[in-house]
């Protein structure tokens, strides 16, 4: 895998990293480790691969299940 990628809009350098990511659902939140391609500054948004998004999908499903279980 490449060590560096570049943002298509800004040309900013992106490096592979895992960072804390917080999602919110119906007033509840969950923070988890999100893999992706991240810029060193705020010059652009992070970029995620399909495998990265599987981590996000799992986390949002877990949060929804927790919230909906609490609501029952």
Would you state the pLDDT for residue 42?
85
Residues 13, 6: contact at Cβ < 8 Å?
yes
Model pLDDT for residues 1-58, shown as the tens digit of each residue:
578 999 999 999 999 999 999 999 999 999 999 999 999 888 899 999 999 999 999 9
Would you state the pLDDT for residue 52?
97
Q: pLDDT band at 69, cuts 50/70/90?
A: confident
- Rounded Cα–Cα distance for residues 71 and 7 (Å): 41
User: 14, exposed or middle or buried, with CB in 10 Å at 0-12, 13-18, 19+?
Assistant: buried
User: pTM here?
Assistant: 0.83
23, containing H or E segment: strand 13-25
Domains of the chain: 4-71 (3.10.20.860)
């Amino acid at each position: 895998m490449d060590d560096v990628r570049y943002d298509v809009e800004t040309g900013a350098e992106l490096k592979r990293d895992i960072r804390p990511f917080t999602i919110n659902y119906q007033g509840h939140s969950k923070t988890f480790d999100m893999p992706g391609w991240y810029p060193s500054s705020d010059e652009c948004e992070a970029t995620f691969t399909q495998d990265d998004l599987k981590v996000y999908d799992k986390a949002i499903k877990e949060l929804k299940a927790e919230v909906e279980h609490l609501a029952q």
